Structures are given as structure tokens and as C-alpha cells.
Amino acid sequence: MAETLVPLESNPEVMNKFLEKVGVPPKYNIVDVMGLEPEMLSWVPRPVLAVTLLFPLSDAYEQHKQQEENQISSKSQEISSNLFYMKQNIHNACGTVALVHSVANNTDKIALNTGHLQRFLEQAKSVDPATRGELLVMSDGIINAHKELAEEGQTSKPKDDEPINHHFITFVHKDGILYELDGRKAFPINHGPTTPDTLLEDAAKVCKEFMARDPNEVRFTVVALVESE
């Protein structure tokens, strides 16, 4: 991987400033998901375009990740050709990768302003996930926006050999399927049928599975990309 960044925090204010800086219109914004039960989910503004989970990396997660990748590699899975997926090539850039995944898979709804993200997606649309990750490394406007907004958080810059303790992933709807997009995994994960109207509820079920694998851990945060009036 390339340089080590200060991580973005799972803070809607910081994340929204990042999105606006790279060219996302302010009517599309990140909001907190305060809980995963139906009543809590009902408080989230609609429509929901993407759901992002921040969770602690653990042995249980790494073991499941390896098992999952082995199982999928042995039996394959269906992946929409319209899905935008990219690899993560920069330490601690998972927050930015998650936000890019959230927006890139909704460009049929989000009319991006001329700016860093629009230019990146134009370059990245016809190349493979690994090349997309390399293009992001070279996208100074996006990386500098990350650096600027990460400085607004409370996290200090990690040392190069310091382990990353938390990770962002994103869930999106594409062509009737719920996809988990994690730049550290070998490929996107097909989690079965969903719709634009049930994306939040279906993603919440998968988030609960992450939590169940680490029952003694409480450091999980969920946010959603929504369209406001």
C-alpha cells in the first residue's frame, strides 16, 4: 500500500464536508443510524442510497473473511456488471473508499458537480477494481480532501507500523441485489435480493451478523447516505 493517512472518523459532519468538497451536491448527505431495530431504522430519512458500517477489526472478522472468500471462490457468485467496486491501496483510506463506493453506485440518481470525484469516476469507470485503487492513489484532489477533513477529527496520525483497528465498508443496492463493498476483500460480496426501499433494513441484517461474530465488542457505528429535500 501507499502512504498512511489519518483515518476519517465516522462523523456525519466530517463526512459531509468531504463529500461536498469532492463534488457531491449537499442534498445528498450522511446521517447517523442510531440503532438497527425497526423503530430506530424508521427514523432514518428516505430514500437511503447506501449504508456504511464502521467496525473493529478482530480475529473473528479475519477468520470469517478468509472462510467467506474461500467459499465464494469455490462456488462463484453473481456480480452485476453495473456495480462499481475498487480495491483499497492506501492505509487508513477505508472511509474515503466507502464514501466513493456509496456515491459511485448511485450516479444514476446523484448528478455530481464538476470536481474531483466526477473526474475520478470518469477515469475509473472502464477499468478493473485494482486499477481503480491505483487511480485513487493518484487522485490528489480526493486524497487531499481526505487529509484536510481527517484533521478535523480527534484521531492522531498513526505510525506506519501501527495496526489499523477499525474499518469502513459500504452496502449498496444494484440491480436487485445487496452488495457489500470492502476494498480489503478479494471481491464484492453478494448478500442476496434487496430493493431501493428495503436497502436499509437488509443492510442492517448483515450489520447484525458482524456484531454477532464479536459479541463482546461494542464499537460499531452505522451511517447512511440519504437524499434530503
What pLDDT digit, counting tens, does each position of 65-91 carry?
999 999 999 998 999 999 999 999 988
The residues annotated as belonging to the active site are 94, 167
In a domain, 107, yes or no: yes
Mean pLDDT within 38-56: 96
In a domain, 7, yes or no: no
Q: Are 1 and 158 in contact (CB under 8 A)?
A: no
In a domain, 176, yes or no: yes
Q: Are 18 and 12 in contact (CB under 8 A)?
A: no
- CATH number for the domain that contains residue 53: 3.40.532.10
**Structural domain tally of the chain?**
1
In a domain, 5, yes or no: no
Domain that holds residue 188: 12-227
In a domain, 161, yes or no: yes
pLDDT of residue 165: 78
In a domain, 2, yes or no: no
In a domain, 137, yes or no: yes
